[in-house]
Structure 1
């Protein structure tokens, strides 16, 4: 029963495996110290003590053991494959079919060992399933053996391997040994079946290796543009460098990627990157300050590095923005493209990066910006846009905001993160949250919040970009084996993480009008949660227009044909034309 449970819950299986390993080391050390009849030399005593101490460390830090397991598996496969290949090529007296089979199996083991090191999260999930299956098969084997023993005892039939009642020897032939009555043709065919199996194994290994290399090559690579110079301006919002950008740019528009100075929420200096896209007529234009949705946590996940730099962050209407005569200034945020960690769902850091991007864009040659600015954002970016409105007056009074359009914003963060285990693929976003918050806040630790068996999965997911091919493999493997892993060992809304999530809920800002749009069919951002947040803003005096959109999900809300985007354009145009927003809260 335990084995069957562990098969379908691999992350639990890894935790159990680590605990069994630790307990085994402690027991082995204690037996070495306590069993009578053993001559205890100084070396034996040291070994015994080392076993006990190592076991205690494993029991206290099972996550560390699980992380090392993939390394052990990978190295073991490579060593086993190398030894097997050498023996197969040098051993004398073996048949040709066996030499070929052992060589191919050795090469396949080497390839699988390399893959185990490159994809440790998938390796551990497979190890966990095998561990559970081994327990299940062992249990079934024990039950079968017990049943056969009782049956043989009842019928007085000797068990396999025991002498018969007439004293004759049992049949001990094995499938690998030819029987005297077996035709030679069948013996040869059976021997070559091993070679065929080895050919299948090497073909599978080669296919997996090619797929792995291809997927890795499809991931973005950070280039030298994002490296901070030795001398960085001390003032935030200063342009460091800019260069022409052409990927995904609408006809008639001009664009640049930029590197500029900004600050973290605690005031420490930072460098961020972004994209500026403007109509190509050379006139001055108002600004849409775009806060992109989730693209990932790793440095390589900057939208300006992506194959689809705008769609990756859910900006599907750039053509319409440019056609209306507006300039889009889009930050990558700190830690995407530039040195991290990326402050994922950490509000003030993200807002400062966007406000400083607007400042830096004003310093550029080749484009002109008016002071009119409306902040837009979706999902992660929706929460960041709300934060921009909250801090703009104090942090960047030279970037006055005429309004904020927040679409499906990450607002009530405690409720959102607590909801992630119920969302298909929610473990991906949870991995970004844990990596971001543990990287920025020292008191938030993996050890406290992440189950040991899930730690490698969480860390590896955070290294992959949301739209990258290798993330797809990771997610499909996780879903296929676990139906999405349970990664949290305690409620993320409690303790240091819960306190920091609450701290990063976008606060009310009564001076700047807000259009908040939410799809009622959104599985990631729950509509009830969002309406509760909007109600709280209303109660705090924020000028908010809350609009609900039936049948729209998280991404369909911001697609080009969405009624929410029609409303966003019309509402933004009114703000830029100086039409005063209604002071009353409204829900549609």
Structure 2
């Protein structure tokens, strides 16, 4: 098989795992279960690796709590599961899981440059944690490992670990995405550089934006070189209306549950935005991954589950605004690349156009690639090779705007570096 053909096969799998989830069956909830040895699992059905130790509250973010090797055929490197410490939205020290993949060969001087991958929407249930299916991550990691990058991938808070996953909570996503880079610095044999790029798509694009935005203050010992955000959710005050009749309308319920988990009942009162039927539907959100949620919401009139548009409720209006990258008032301290498919059926392409303009107005050095005719997931394949080139240019310190012209894409640029 030629390298180009192999890359097409790889990316076909990447599409499946990067966006609307893993299409798994799930019966696991997001409630915690205490075991006799004092550890806690997010669900009793999880493998033993996911049992969280009882004492780590004094550990600094990025401390490794446990690891285990993952044996995979065909991986262009070595892979391990890792459990590491991070910070919740409320400031508590928590355990988060993820994967670390190290390239074969000898690291360059200064160590392997790091790409921290932020995954797309998989669900809120613990069984939706991406690290439970590392064979699928192999398909994502191989072309990046072969390009000479160490790859880390957080499950995010509450996926595979106790507590409800705070879906679309920007700070929570950012902390998990950055702290696994810190964990890589001390992972035995990783030889990780302090230089890193954040890359994510869909929910992960949102995570990448917030990770980049908080990088200087939250991870000052690391050196952010760039951010790539594919189809990042923004303009959140308008998203409720856009999703009402969409096949992805269950995102509304996931966001309600996730932001409530992040902000609490006072700052994110569910009974102000959901009817009793809507509150009952949240049990599905806590036990199902995305494919099951899609089926469970078929034929459901979301209006019957909602008491009000969240944008019209003061507490929720503030919460949505605070978790919208379009409301940033200072730029991300590194070049930003936004990638979007012109026919995105989940995140309207107009939203990233607005986001680009909002960020340009505050001085963000950025570029935006739009691939006409491409869908939410379909944009990944035609953009992938050019994206890796753009990432390499950032590690090399090349000036912005990058002169790279991806095939069949329209390019916008703002600012210079």
The answer to whether the superposition gives a TM-score over 0.5 is yes
Aligned to 1:440: 262
Find the partner of 2:289 among 457, 460, 465. 465
Give, in whole Å, the separation in 2 of the partners of 1:307 and 1:281. 21
Find the partner of 2:180 among 341, 357, 361.
357
Task: Measure the CA separation in 1 of the matches of 2:278 and 2:307.
Answer: 9
TM-score scaled by length of structure 2 = 0.80
Is the 2:25–2:289 Cα contact (8 Å) retained in structure 1?
no
231 and 510 in structure 1: CA distance in 2 versus 1, 3 angstrom threshold: closer
Which runs of 5 or more structure 1 residues have no equivalent in the other structure?
1-213
Structure 1 SS opposite 2:353: helix
Separation in structure 2 between the aligned mates of residue 462 and residue 414 of structure 1, nearest angstrom: 24
Aligned CA RMSD, in angstroms, stands at: 2.5
Residue 341 of structure 1 pairs with residue 164 of structure 2: yes
Structure 2 residue 337 is matched with structure 1 residue 515: yes
Q: 2:306 aligns with which of 480, 488, 497?
A: 488
Output the CA distance in 1 between the equivalents of 2:412 and 2:74: 34
1:373/1:529 CA distance change after superposition, 3 Å: same
SS in 2 for 1:272: strand
Query: The residue matched to 2:244 in structure 1 has which SS?
Result: helix
What TM-score do the two structures reach when normalised by structure 1? 0.57
User: Does the Cα contact within 8 Å between 1:282 and 1:368 map onto a contact in 2?
Assistant: no
Residues 282-318 of structure 1, C-alpha deviations (whole Å, 9 max, x = no match): 523111011111111122211011375439xxxx642
Q: How does 1:213-228 map to 2 (within 5 A)?
A: 221-228=45-52
Give CA-to-partner distance per residue, 1:512-537, whole Å, 9 cap, x none.
10000111101110111220111100
Match of 1:511, SS state, is coil
State how far apart, in whole Å, the 2-side matches of 1:457 and 1:502 are: 25
Structure 2 residue matching 1:352: 3-state secondary structure: helix
Which digits, 9 at most, give the CA deviation of each residue in 1:310-346, with x for residues without a partner? 39xxxx6422101101111111111011112212111
Task: Give the number of the structure with larger relative contact order, counting CA–CA contacts within 8 Å between residues 6 or more apart.
Answer: 2
1:369 alignment partner in structure 2: 192
Tell me by how many angstroms 1:426 deviates: 1.6
| Residue 251 (structure 1) shift | 3.0
Conserved 8 A contact 1:282-1:367: no
Pairing partner for 2:114 from 273, 281, 287: 287
Q: Is the 8 A contact 1:415 1:529 kept in 2?
A: no
Rg (Cα) greater in structure: 1
CA distance in 2, matches of 1:463, 1:440: 18
Q: Tell me, in whole angstroms, the C-alpha distance in 2 between the residues paired with 1:517 and 1:459.
A: 34
- 1:383 aligns with 206
Displacement of 1:483 after TM fit?
Answer: 6.8
Which one of the candidate residues 273, 277, 281 is aligned to 1:453? 277
Question: What's the secondary structure of 2:310's corresponding residue?
Answer: coil
Kindly indicate whether the alpha-carbon contact (under 8 Å) linking 1:333 and 1:353 is maintained by their aligned counterparts in 2.
Answer: yes
Task: Say which SS state the counterpart of residue 431 (structure 1) adopts.
Answer: helix
User: 1:528/1:564 Cα in 2 relative to 1: closer, same or farther (>3 Å)?
Assistant: same
The structure with the greater share of residues assigned to strand is 2
